[in-house]
């Protein structure tokens, strides 16, 4: 069964803190996406991973194929990082499953 589990559900941090959001999935994915949804509702794809690690500015995404686990890290967090972060797994049968989302609030 294709499942995606994401944690934590809610996260509050002080500006400058290092943040980690976790995502676990079942076997058989072809890619994993990290998405960001701001309060206005628009969704942006941050990363698409099939192996290894990607970095964009203060954002880092990693994936461990053996452990079926991915993490999204935010370094030097800022209030503008406040958003909902969603991981999405694309399975080999083109089935796409979403984590429940992590609501991040970064306080100044």
Instruction: Provide the 3-class DSSP secondary structure of residue 39.
Output: coil
If the CB atoms of residues 44 and 76 are measured against other proteins, the closer one turns out to be: 44
Residue 94 region by backbone torsions, left for phi larger than 0, else alpha for psi between -120 and 50, else beta: left
If the CB atoms of residues 54 and 73 are measured against other proteins, the closer one turns out to be: 54
If the CB atoms of residues 1 and 108 are measured against other proteins, the closer one turns out to be: 1
**Separation of alpha carbons 56 and 14, rounded Å:** 21
**Separation of alpha carbons 4 and 53, rounded Å:** 19
For the bound state, the minimum distance from the C-beta of residue 100 to other proteins, rounded and expressed in Å, comes to 5
Binding site for other proteins (CB under 8 A): 30-31, 33, 35, 41-45, 48, 50, 84, 86, 88, 90, 94-101
For the bound state, the minimum distance from the C-beta of residue 14 to other proteins, rounded and expressed in Å, comes to 25
For the bound state, the minimum distance from the C-beta of residue 63 to other proteins, rounded and expressed in Å, comes to 13
Cα 87 to its chain centre, rounded Å, is 4
The answer to whether 107 touches 12, Cβ cutoff 8 Å, is: yes
For the bound state, the minimum distance from the C-beta of residue 102 to other proteins, rounded and expressed in Å, comes to 10
């Amino acid at each position: 069964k294709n499942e995606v589990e994401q944690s934590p559900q809610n996260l509050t941090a002080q500006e400058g803190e290092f943040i980690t959001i976790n995502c676990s999935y079942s076997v058989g994915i072809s890619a994993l996406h990290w998405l960001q949804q701001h309060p206005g509702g628009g969704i942006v794809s941050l990363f698409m991973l099939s192996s290894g690690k990607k970095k964009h500015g203060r954002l880092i995404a990693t994936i461990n194929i053996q452990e079926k686990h991915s993490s999204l890290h935010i370094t030097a967090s800022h209030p503008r990082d406040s958003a909902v972060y969603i991981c999405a797994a694309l399975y080999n049968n083109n089935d796409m499953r979403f984590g429940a989302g992590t609501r991040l609030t970064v306080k100044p």
